[in-house]
Amino acid sequence: MTQTYDAIVIGAGVMGASIAFHLAERGLKTAILERTVSAAGATGHSSGLVRMHYDLAAESHLTFTSYKNYFNVWKDRVGGECGFQQTGFLQIAKREHEDKLRGNVANQQKIGINTSVISVDEVRKLFPDLLTEHFDYAAYEPDSGYADATLTTNSFLESAKRNDATLIQNCEVTAIQVSGGKVTGVTTTKGEFSAPVVINAAGPWAKHVASLAGIDVPLVTWTHDVAFLHRPPTLGKFPAVIDDVINCYFRPEGSALILAAGEDESLRGEAPDAEDQTPTPTFLEKLIDAMVQRMPKIEESGLHSVHVGRDGITPDQRAIYSDTELKGFYLACGLSGTGFKTSPAAGASMVELILDGKPKTVDISPFRFSRFAEGKLLEGEYGYGNIWK
């Protein structure tokens, strides 16, 4: 028997969960269909940074709105926990990118973000254990930090369920039903579901899901290795850091660990459900060699664990938040490893696009699907180049 809903969200990662939360909040009878279990894919392996420094103002707007209206007031806005920890955030840029760093900070300040360009002397005063000989300035966001992607997802889902949404796990979509140029529902391993609105938030599976509707989304899978290191006992306070000089990022993980990862050597094109969860052979050695250039005490550390996550990445390494040529079929995918911190505001804006015809929370039109056919790939106003090499 066909089950009937107002909207179907494919994928119960953080983006799908946010969209479902906002749909249910607007009173739509919503089904969330997940091929395995919630937060099992890219979300469960997210590094969870909550920072606002991007070289594209539209992304900074999404992250700032997500921080201000959600992460910073989570219990009141969503309920449950998101695990947000305010550690501060540093964006370290190459010396030749100082003008770009200043331009991006100026754009972010216009949005209302609490950020500034600080000198290496100020960096040393704030965080004495960081070496600063390889750069002159950094962007500093005292309000930023990190959160727990799984807690965030589950809080969205629980709140959506309180508004009568239904989460159906171990439910793989095998066909998209279409009639007269409109989506009418989906076929799954657990039967048929009818709805006039279907949102593809399937992470690294999004290309396959879109192909079921006859739509070719230009994304490939992107595999990312992340290490958890034991925190040296003599290491003092440090923030979340993205360091373009040494091509890595790191942050505290509670009081006992450090989360760290590189920005290069990420594999492309593996199957979304590839069984190999082994990091690339040189990952850990290159990561440690890089990190000791910024944090020498890391030599006192040791490896706790490594995990491997996969997401979908687009040609311009920017997300797709959009309608499509198939009426009622929407895309929230190709998040390119940056979806977690934008998910609250992106979910709200997607639902406004679906129900009101135009988003008002944040203008997500730059992330339209048609930009690829138009040849208008997104570039930062003061671009640093691709994040992932």
CATH number, domain with residue 109? 3.30.9.10
Q: Is position 51 within any domain?
A: no
Please tell me the predicted confidence (pLDDT) of residue 134.
92
Cα gap 321→331, rounded to integer Å: 6
280, 313, 346 - which closes a domain: 313
Same domain for 247 and 296, yes or no, is yes
Among 149, 148, 124, smallest CA distance to 137 is for: 124
Cα gap 226→47, rounded to integer Å: 8
Question: Mean pLDDT in each 10-residue stretch from start to end of the chain (389 residues)?
Answer: 95 98 98 97 94 98 98 98 98 97 98 98 97 96 98 98 98 98 98 98 98 98 95 97 96 97 86 81 93 96 93 97 98 96 98 98 98 97 90
Q: Is position 182 within any domain?
A: yes
Same domain for 226 and 300, yes or no, is yes
Please tell me the predicted confidence (pLDDT) of residue 260.
97
Please tell me the predicted confidence (pLDDT) of residue 389.
73
Q: Is position 382 within any domain?
A: no
Q: Count how many domains the chain has.
A: 2
Same domain for 127 and 225, yes or no, is yes
284, 313, 342 - which closes a domain: 313
CB of 59 within 8 A of CB of 338? yes
Same domain for 238 and 365, yes or no, is no
Same domain for 182 and 230, yes or no, is no
Q: At 156, give phi and psi (nearest 5°).
A: -60, -45
Same domain for 113 and 252, yes or no, is yes
Q: Is position 10 within any domain?
A: yes
Same domain for 90 and 121, yes or no, is yes
Same domain for 18 and 103, yes or no, is no
Same domain for 300 and 229, yes or no, is yes
Same domain for 157 and 303, yes or no, is no
Which residues does residue 310 pair with via DSSP β-bridges, in sequence order?
223
Q: Is position 80 within any domain?
A: no
Q: Is position 169 within any domain?
A: yes
Same domain for 303 and 226, yes or no, is yes
CA dihedral 241, 247, 253, 257 (to 10 degrees): -120
Q: Is position 75 within any domain?
A: no
Among 131, 36, 56, 43, smallest CA distance to 92 is for: 131
Which residues span the domain enclosing 98?
85-144+221-313
| CATH code where residue 328 lies | 3.50.50.60
Please tell me the predicted confidence (pLDDT) of residue 275.
66
Q: Is position 98 within any domain?
A: yes
Q: In angstroms, how far apart are the furthest CA atoms of the chain?
A: 67
Same domain for 191 and 134, yes or no, is no
Among 231, 127, 199, 227, smallest CA distance to 346 is for: 199
296, 313, 330 - which closes a domain: 313
